[in-house]
């Protein structure tokens, strides 16, 4: 089987951490599911031996990883319009609309961003992870809009993924949240893990959760709601939504985190959103080939603008932050 190999040595023991989770923290461009498949197929070994995904890495372990050559994509190209913010031979950045799934999955095999990118890029896409499909470097939830990066080459994918791992990529989001946040700015440091009772949800877990850090700045206050700019310093699943629910100010329209506050605000304002009003507004990164610093901004979609207009029309609107 053709492909490429690499090895790494575990610097310190990782008691309580699984091998697949440890490797996911190193190869952030590759999904945990893809790493698990590589382990199950014998392409990842520890000290020359086949290991289970649940193995806890120890200091001095030599982990060998074989990356098989990309297989043909299962997703079919589809001519779906893309709002392109930037594109060159190495990468493409789009303004993702709300309501579209990024990757094909059971129940969503068609009409995804992957299908659209396969058509637009005509096969010139990263194959990292063993499947020839667009190299989505990071992900957005189905109902989150805004800046999304995809790599056209393996080099671009690896370099951008490393920038995410090193936290040199800057991402700023805009969100409308329930409640009037009193402080002009703040930061949430609260570890996140899978919810113990709801496997599709995440939650703050002081013991056993992964480090998560979110900064925010108030942009505008309304009656019963706040527009905030959010800086992500880590990239945990549902991080913004979980952290703002933890603060007591869940994202407006979020049916998973903070249903009670959403119901109260919708009843008071008369405005009913159809999705969580969270938008990846800007992304700033170093170009993977020439190192040039690039900042891109995604205009927010019509439903976000409509929500702001409706909230501004409510009486007794709060003042914008001057900080």
Please report which residue ranges of 129-236 form alpha helices under DSSP H: 154-166
Burial (CB < 10 A; 0-12, 13-18, 19+), residue 145, is: buried
Q: How many CA atoms lie within 13 A of 297 on its CB side?
A: 2
Q: How far apart are CA 222 and CA 204, in angstroms?
A: 27
Looking at the DSSP bridge assignments, the partners of residue 25 are none
Q: Which pair of tokens denotes residue 318? A: 């709060």
Q: How far apart are CA 17 and CA 22, in angstroms?
A: 7
CB contact at 8 A, 280 and 147: yes
* Residues noted as catalytic: 141
| DSSP symbol at 71 | B
For the chain, the distance separating the N- and C-terminal CA atoms, rounded to the nearest angstrom, is: 58
């Amino acid at each position: 089987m053709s492909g490429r190999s690499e090895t790494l040595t575990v610097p310190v023991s990782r008691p309580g951490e699984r091998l697949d989770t440890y490797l996911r923290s190193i190869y952030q461009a590759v999904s945990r599911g893809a790493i698990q498949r590589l382990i199950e197929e014998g392409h990842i070994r520890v000290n020359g031996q086949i290991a289970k995904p649940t193995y806890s890495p120890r200091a001095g372990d030599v982990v060998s990883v074989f990356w098989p050559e990309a297989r043909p994509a299962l997703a079919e190209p589809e001519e779906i319009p893309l709002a392109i913010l930037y594109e060159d031979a190495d990468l493409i950045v789009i303004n993702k609309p709300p309501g579209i799934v990024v990757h094909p999955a059971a129940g969503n095999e068609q009409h995804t961003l992957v299908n659209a990118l396969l058509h637009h890029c005509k096969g010139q896409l990263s194959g990292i992870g063993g499947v020839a499909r667009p190299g989505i470097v990071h992900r957005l939830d189905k109902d989150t809009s805004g800046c999304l990066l995809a790599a056209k080459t393996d080099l671009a994918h690896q370099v951008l993924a490393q920038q995410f791992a090193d936290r040199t990529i800057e991402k700023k989001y805009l969100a409308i949240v329930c409640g009037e946040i009193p402080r002009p700015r703040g930061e949430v440091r609260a570890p996140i893990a899978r919810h113990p009772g709801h496997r599709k949800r995440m939650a703050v877990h002081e013991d056993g959760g992964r480090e998560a850090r979110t900064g925010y700045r108030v942009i505008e206050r309304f009656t019963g709601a706040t527009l905030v700019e959010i800086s992500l310093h880590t990239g945990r699943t549902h991080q913004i939504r979980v952290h703002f629910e933890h603060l007591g100010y869940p994202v407006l329209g979020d049916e998973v985190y903070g249903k009670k506050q959403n119901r109260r605000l919708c009843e008071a304002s008369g405005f009913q959103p159809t999705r969580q009003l969270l938008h990846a507004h800007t992304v700033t990164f170093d170009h993977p080939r020439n190192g040039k610093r690039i900042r891109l901004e995604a205009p927010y979609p019509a439903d976000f603008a409509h929500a702001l207009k409706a909230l501004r029309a409510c009486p007794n609107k709060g003042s914008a932050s001057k900080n």
